Amino acid sequence: MNAVTVHNLCKKMNQFSIQNVSFQVPSGSIVGLIGENGAGKTSTIKLLLNILQKDDGNIIFWEDPNKDFIQVKDQIATVFDQLAFYDKLSAEKINHIMKHIYTSWDSDYYFSLLQQFNLEKKQLLRQFSKGMKMKLNIIIGLAHHPILLILDEPTSGLDPAVRTEILDLFLDYIQNEQNSILFSTHITSDLEKIADYILFMHNGKVLLQENKDHLMHHYGIARCHHQQFTQLPKELIFAYQQKNDIYHVVINDTATFEEAFPDYVLDNLSLDELITISIKGEILP
């Protein structure tokens, strides 16, 4: 079952466009959305959430094409990087507001999460640090028991300890194998830790959606000189970048590569290098 199925999503926005974007968020999984600044990650999220109107394509939730966003929105929590509450409120006051908004709002769960994350319910939001605000943002998202969590850069600007707490919360959340998460981030190490799938966007298009373990085990980076590079079959190359005399080549089938080219230097893939080589270099069709 897919929590979200996106097929050929298109949106023209002045100079920029989302072009035939297709991907899935399988139930029980974490999908990490990566790509450079301006790749179209936030725009894609806004299209999913009906904040932006699509020009074309399909967005299907829980494989039911008859359900539009209005019918599923209570089952979805969205978290952007800003808290949408007046800063003279406390977490306790937010509970009063939210229980009138969501019939499924669970005050007990909300207060237990506040306690788990050491957030003081009577403290005013303006006295919260950035990390505390983001934790609260995510807790507010979770307290009505959504089955899909969509987050735009939830861990940006947070210290490693807070990030780890949030990533652990995400892992707990998907334990029931029905809940799902789609989140965009520039912190690829977070995705290397917890993502099940990587969705890589560039210039408004999806370059790659792949199981993370498959990427980590079957993709790699070969380093070679021009003459060696010319011997590589195109079907083994995802992208390459030439820097000085060295070609840095993203290989998409390391087992076949190592068998055919045992003398070449082959490093493990890092998501940062995948992004850099693809964006600064050439992507093969």
Ligand X SMILES: Nc1ncnc2c1ncn2[C@@H]1O[C@H](COP(=O)(O)OP(=O)(O)OP(=O)(O)O)[C@@H](O)[C@H]1O
Return residues touching ligand X (CB under 6 A).
13-14, 16, 35, 37-43
Q: How far apart are the first and last CA of the chain?
A: 30
Question: Measured from the CB atom, is 14 or 118 closer to ligand X?
Answer: 14
Tokens 């850099």, residue located: 276
Whole-angstrom Cα distance, residue 196 to residue 25? Answer: 10
- Toward ligand X, which CB reaches closer, 156 or 270? 156
The secondary structure of residue 124, as a DSSP letter, is B
Q: How far is the CB of 13 from ligand X (least distance, A)?
A: 4
Given a contact cutoff of 8 angstroms between Cβ atoms, the answer to whether 166 and 160 are in contact is no
Coil, helix or strand at residue 149: strand
Shortest Å, Cβ 188 to ligand X: 12
The minimum distance between CB 281 and ligand X, in angstroms, equals 19
Using alpha carbons, list the distances in angstroms from residue 196 to 9, 97, 113, 209.
Answer: 22, 34, 25, 11
| Least spacing, CB of residue 201 vs ligand X, in Å | 7
Whether 252 and 219 have beta carbons less than 8 Å apart is answered as yes
Rg of the chain, C-alpha, whole Å:
21
Instruction: For residue 174, give both structure tokens.
Output: 């998907």
Q: How far is the CB of 16 from ligand X (least distance, A)?
A: 4
Measured from the CB atom, is 45 or 125 closer to ligand X?
A: 45
Q: Which is nearer to ligand X, 41 or 135 (CB)?
A: 41
CA count, 13 A, side-chain hemisphere, 195: 28
Report d(CA 265, CA 169) in Å as an integer: 38
Burial class (CB in 10 A: 0-12, 13-18, 19+), 22: middle
Choose between 39 and 77: whose C-beta lies nearer to ligand X: 39
Q: Name which of 153 and 273 has its Cβ closer to ligand X.
A: 153
* Cβ 50 to ligand X shortest distance, Å: 14
